[in-house]
Structure 1
Amino acid sequence: MLNKKIGKQTIKFLEAPKIISANAIVGPKEGEGPLAQHFDTILDDDLFGLKSWEKAESKMIEETVKAAASKIKLSIKDIDYFFAGDLLNQLMSSTFAARDLQIPYIGLFGACSTLTESLSLSAMMIDGGYGDYAVAATSSHFSTAERQFRFPLELGNQRPLTSQWTVTGAGAAILSNKGKGPSIAYATIGKVIDFGIFDANNMGAAMAPAAVDTIKTHFSDTGLSPSDYDLIITGDLGVIGMDIAKDLLMKEGINVSHNFSDCGVKIFDHEKQDTHAGGSGCGCSAVVFCGYLYTELIEKKIKNLLLVSTGALLSPTSIQQGESIPSIAHAVAIRSS
């Protein structure tokens, strides 16, 4: 039996699965940001023509999967597995999309780390020979997340400057052992890290230690260094969390000053768009990767990418129990074709 695990937490794919298609749908606010030209669909209405934000989010994830398949003329019925997740209770958005898509479904909750969690598991299925096609998809919606985790929008609560704006969007990536596209070389599976942050309006500070732990482990397991990557990008630490992560990495002797960024920083102009500390949500790294970064890999503007999606694993129940915010980060190393 071939041992594909290296070090403590990393899998090395011997037959590196390819990401043969990707698609990103975003809301109106995201469509006004710096990456607008890279998204496949920008909604005029964040209700997506439906009666609730929750139904709209489910429709986004369904439509982005269909669009990703359509790009490569792949029939939905030929997809072997659907790995997906979101922020809502019981993965409502993903589950109802899976009901309509009728693809064998594995629902995932990694909070905002779900994109790299789904990419990792999809890659394992393909590399293991358990299927020919797997789709990794993730969604979030500002309005659904706000009323589940914070306050009803109608109250108009003032948001502290440490808070981030949950991205309205969905991204889907199709992986296969057939076709062409950027390949996934490694997946580093994160551990739950908790530094005792209680403030749900300061997610960046809560998630930064998890990002640092996974990045450090990735380099230790693989023997690689920051200089082996054109870009190391976290999921949604935002402005505050990204600065904390840089400082913590520097203390570990890992210098990422020249090639480190964050999807939550890139997706909005946080000053002009009043998003405070930047973007967040499951859809944040999903749409930045499936829109902007995937194109950069295809065009070889980025040849080696380390994508580290970060997630705060809190819930309304954990908050009511007085718990701190445990966090996790998963990383995938992607190489241009």
Structure 2
Amino acid sequence: MQQLPEPFQSIVARYQGYLSAERNRSVHTVRAYLTDIGGLLRFAQESGVTGLEELTLADLRSWLGSMDAQGQARSTIARRAATVRSFLAWAVREELIETNPALRLRAPKQEKTLPGVLSSKQLNGIFETLRAAATDGDPIALRDTALVEVLYGTGIRVGELVGLDSDHLDVDRRTLRVVGKGNKERTVPYGVPAAHALDDWLRRGRPRLVTAASGYALFLGRRGGRMDQRQARSTVERLFAGVEGTSATGPHALRHSTATHLLDGGADLRAVQEILGHSSLATTQIYTHVSVDRLRSSYEQAHPRA
């Protein structure tokens, strides 16, 4: 993040401490919040604002308008507006400002987009490619097979995946202990294919990569350290590049696919919410829209009077 204007540095440093210590936000989340707030404060200073107490609703609207003029996505503008509302509400509670100028701030409505979902046929093709690559026991191929099987078999986030340790596995019950957003723990089941892939990786793959730096990390990089999110994303994106007829990109598409296929198969919405680790049922409900959309598409293709 760029250097903040001098009048605002101490305030933002206090807010950073609040996010980390009191709200228990991850390093990644705190960095994102501070980047958004820094963008506003630099914009405000360029407009002549010298202190937080001088910030007005008009300044905030101008800031959002400048992003819209730059062609920023509505989702990005909405997220930044929400971040600033939270920041200024905190500033009022801390008595740094008397009133919150963001109370009447309205961000543009986000466009509703359905997540990319892979079909069972497409997924089977991916798994066949992975199994073929792993036949000679190459440790990276074994790791990648286990990685994709776990992502699809559990629906966990990529950040949760790379944070897994070996003792997070309960092999007998076929469950994973996952540490999700806000350091909340949950237990997630996985199926037989993922169990076989994990067993192969732990017996034949991981021992060939493990080093003193590996610790208890379940998934390792080529040099033996804990695999990071960038490596996991690259692995999945490389596999998706060979799949035709899908808008799915990256590990999150596997999470979308898991949720959609569970609901298509008759799973209870609350159970899917628990598996995915959503704090709100409304977040999980988007996948019901995906399922209905697929149902309508099938109906229109098959019914003679559709």
With the length of structure 2 as denominator, give the TM-score of the two structures: 0.25
**Greater C-alpha Rg:** 2
Greater relative CO (CA pairs within 8 A, separation 6+): 1
Name whichever structure is richer in helix by fraction.
2
